[in-house]
Structure 1
Amino acid sequence: MTLDRRLHAYRPDLADEALRGQVEAERFVSGTPARIALAVADLRPSPNLACGLDTQLLLGEDVLVFERADGWAWVKAVRDGYVGYLPETSLTVIETPATHWVTAPRSFLYNGPDLRFPNAHAISMGSRMTVTGEAETRGTRYFLLNDGRSVIANHCASIGTPAGVDYVAVAARFLETPYLWAGRSGMGIDCSGLVQLAMHMMGLEAPRDSDMQANGFGSPITREELRRGDLVFWKGHVGIMEDEKTLLHANGHTMSVAREDLNAAIERIGWLYEQPTGYRRPDRIA
């Protein structure tokens, strides 16, 4: 059986120690922990800025680093196991545990507790940080972070605090967010990234890509059984049922996260991608 390179770190010269006995490689390493230091870090299948993206990692997410060479790091995301290359400058050491995450679709990091400070950096829902204190400026409350920066306090919550009443409500907060192939943030997101991030913010874990989600995630159902929270799959695409008739999805037609009547979506998508390939119900949609 050929292992999926998206989820298994192996090359002829180097492989993840966890794969010893499953693959052949000149040497095996366990990986060194590191943390994403950028607002959004692009993960690629090869160490080349000209190649396309596979996915993105968010500020504060942890990785295992198998190799650093020529300015690139070969890593595996701790949370969903995705493997790829990113610039070494995307990483920092893990000094303290992350305590909070961003629960707003988008927010900003400031150089201090004041929204008027220059050089604010946009960050996405799901970004993680270490809060060391609080401050208030002109009635606005800020969390003070261990790196000296600040963030709007009511845009954040303790890690694990749900970002909505259910994952569908979280996904709906991304309406009109631009579509971005391989995107996984409030600045740009793709269809499976929307499913994964929305579920993650409710304490649920979904695979990253639509084929992974379609192949064994949750339970298969029929079209007639569709209800809120169910997933509809096409070849290379996935959407979330907001109710029995309405699809919520990041799509290349509107180039955004949008609502669409399911029947209209099936007719529109059919000419290029044929009919839906399946329908699935996540085991838990809270």
Structure 2
Amino acid sequence: MLDRRLNAFRTDLAEKRLEGQVEALRFVEGRPARLIASTTAMRPQPSTTSGMDTELLFGEPVSVLDRANGWAWVKSGVDDYVGYVEETALGGPGAEPTHWVTAPRTFVYSEPDMKRPTATALSMGSRITVTGEAETRGTRYLLVDGGAVIAKHVAEVDMPISDDYVSVATRFLASPYLWGGRSGFGLDCSGLVQLSMMMTGKAVLRDTDMQRASIGTEIGRNELKRGDLVFWKGHVAIMVDAGMMIHSSGFTMDVSHESLADAIKRIEPMYGLPLLCRRPS
């Protein structure tokens, strides 16, 4: 059975590529759009009372399959996740992004001056189109639609910022836990893995079960080293070394370090022992 998180199909409508695989009244090609909100909740149902499955970042591309009653049914161009977003979060296809944010969080200033009001804040991984540059009191800014960003907080789009995704993950220490979050403003466990890997040029799927089934190769717990992943039922952690890990934890409600031994002891009564360990390729 096709995974509805990665394949867009309903009884009335489905994406064109699924024709012949699923039954639907109509099959459509999605229309391109980009996110214009700082972060956007993607939900399984078109309602603000529906929980957040995942989060889309400013400038990320989506394919719009349907629009109705203020909601859009979309498929992410980053990881193929399917769900509903509020229409107000979407703009047109727009110009291709030239840069992406490399700081955990940064501000868009109304003018190229840190003393001026801020227009919004962006997370690491947000994609922007730079139209020029300016310098104010020795600080270099890049100009974007609606303001300016600190130049050292961005890099050319899709350029890896490190070859060590663990070092990227540690930049989010003390960031709050957020179910479905994948931004510098809040992350869940698999969101931390996905965002950190994305910034080092590694594309991985979104949810814990998807990552457990697809990332790298399975290894034994006695083989663990930096960068390996440990999976429990519904949870994933990143090994910092053979004994310590970093994860976005619903226990501490933030991104934190914890020893693997302590985590196993704490988690076992509720969710059992780790299911498996994987080494990213």
Q: TM-score normalised to the size of structure 1?
A: 0.97
For structure 1, the residue ranges without an aligned partner over 5 or more in a row are none
Please state whether the residue corresponding to 2:241 is helix, strand or coil.
coil
Please state whether the residue corresponding to 1:247 is helix, strand or coil.
strand
Please state whether the residue corresponding to 2:214 is helix, strand or coil.
coil
> Where does residue 39 of structure 2 map in the other structure?
40
Q: What is the aligned-residue RMSD (CA, Å)?
A: 0.8
The answer as to 2:106 corresponding to 1:110 is no
Deviation (angstroms), 1:162? 2.2
The answer as to 2:82 corresponding to 1:73 is no
> Where does residue 17 of structure 2 map in the other structure?
18
Give the distance between the partners of 2:159 and 2:19, measured in 1 at CA: 37
Deviation (angstroms), 1:165? 4.1
> Where does residue 133 of structure 1 map in the other structure?
132
User: Where do residues 54-93 of structure 1 align in structure 2 (5 Å cutoff)?
Assistant: 54-93=53-92
Deviation (angstroms), 1:95? 2.2
Q: Which portions of structure 1, spanning 4 or more consecutive aligned residues, are displaced by more than 6 angstroms?
A: none
Please state whether the residue corresponding to 1:120 is helix, strand or coil.
strand
Q: How many residues align?
A: 281
Please state whether the residue corresponding to 2:112 is helix, strand or coil.
coil
Deviation (angstroms), 1:94? 1.8
Deviation (angstroms), 1:114? 1.2
CA deviation string 1:35-63 (max 9, x = no partner): 00001000000000001000000000000
Give the distance between the partners of 1:233 and 1:221, measured in 2 at CA: 11
> Where does residue 254 of structure 2 map in the other structure?
256
> Where does residue 158 of structure 2 map in the other structure?
160
Please state whether the residue corresponding to 1:215 is helix, strand or coil.
helix
Q: TM-score normalised to the size of structure 2?
A: 0.98
Give the distance between the partners of 2:21 and 2:66, measured in 1 at CA: 20
Identical columns (%): 57
Deviation (angstroms), 1:110? 1.3
User: Where do residues 142-221 of structure 1 align in structure 2 (5 Å cutoff)?
Assistant: 142-145=141-144, 147-221=145-219
Give the distance between the partners of 2:160 and 2:240, measured in 1 at CA: 18
User: Where do residues 91-102 of structure 1 align in structure 2 (5 Å cutoff)?
Assistant: 91-102=90-101
> Where does residue 228 of structure 1 map in the other structure?
226
Please state whether the residue corresponding to 2:192 is helix, strand or coil.
helix
Give the distance between the partners of 1:98 and 1:203, measured in 2 at CA: 16
Give the distance between the partners of 1:191 and 1:163, measured in 2 at CA: 21
- AA in 2 matched with 1:103: T
Deviation (angstroms), 1:218? 1.1
For structure 2, the residue ranges without an aligned partner over 5 or more in a row are none
